[in-house]
Copies of this chain bind each other. A is one copy, B any other.
Amino acid sequence: MLKYNEIATEIEQDILQRNLKQGTKLPKFEELIARYKVSKSTIVKALAILESRGVIYQVQGSGVFVRRRKKYGYINMLENQGFTSDLEEFKITTKVLGVEKIFPTEEIAEYLNCAPGDSLFHVQRIRYINAQALCIEESFFKSSIVPYLNEEIANESIFNYLKSALKLKIGFSDKYLHVIKMKEAESKLLEIETGSPGLFVEELFYLNSGEPFDFSKTTYHHEHSQFFLQSSNLK
């Protein structure tokens, strides 16, 4: 891990452990430099990361302050590493409906920038939160980047497998969202009446080299999901 990422994580842990409230002023640059024994530019970068994550805000000429923590049980919309870490207070379980190797449709080949003949792993899963249906998820992984995947892996966090076993460096993602009325197939799987509201999310994930590797479509049960999102001062 890069030094400024490490420092960012340490400062965030410190804020969480001491349960610091919105508006609490953090120590000055000089104190942070002395505490973490790093250069000023490392602290500047660490604070920029924490600002973009919504952990702090910086006020020019006046200092660095703690931001409000998210409400309990909300899923962070900016998290692009799977939501398991957001909901660690809850029991998240998974039912794998299928893992198969397929060839992409034209739409998906375009999203994933596939070469002719490229195959994909197609994974379908239902995720549960405290034994209640949270979402149904269909993902397509480019097999040129993810050469192996099976039901056992899909039963746990696929992203943890990508990072720890395949050593992939996951970069950024694009999300497209709208509200739908659920069709029969998905409402059955989510154990809800056909026509019920749901949040439909399409997401394209990239490695940090900029190469797309995963396209997924997720439908959330409206009664068992809620989301939060913090914009930062950077823009």
Interface set, chain A 135-184, CB cutoff 8 A to B: 171-181
In the complex, the answer to whether B228 meets A175 with C-beta atoms within 8 Å is yes
Chain B residues near A171 (CB-CB < 8 A): 57, 233
- A119 CB–B CB distance under 8 Å: no
Chain B residues positioned under 8 Å from A74 (CB to CB): 176
Do B210 and A172 have beta carbons less than 8 Å apart? no
Chain B nearest CB from A62 CB (Å) reads 8
A81 to chain B, nearest CB (A): 8
Residue A65 at the chain B interface, CB threshold 8 Å: yes
The count of residues in chain A whose C-beta lies closer than 8 Å to any C-beta of chain B is 53
Cβ–Cβ < 8 Å partners of A79 in chain B: 231, 235
Which residues of the partner chain B approach A39 to less than 8 Å between Cβ atoms?
none
Among B23, B179, B232, contact of A210 (Cβ-Cβ < 8 Å) = B23
* Contact between chains at A78 and B231 (CB < 8 Å): yes
Tell me the chain A residues, 207-235 only, with Cβ under 8 Å from chain B.
Answer: 208-210, 220, 222, 225-235
Of residues A57, A74, A172, which shows the largest number of chain B Cβ atoms within 10 Å of its Cβ?
A172
Q: Kindly list chain B residues whose C-beta atoms are within 8 Å of the C-beta of A177.
A: 77, 226-229
Residue A71 at the chain B interface, CB threshold 8 Å: yes
- 11 inter-chain pairs at a CB distance below 8 angstroms, sorted by A residue, are A23-B210, A48-B234, A49-B235, A54-B174, A68-B174, A80-B231, A80-B235, A173-B230, A173-B231, A175-B231, A179-B225
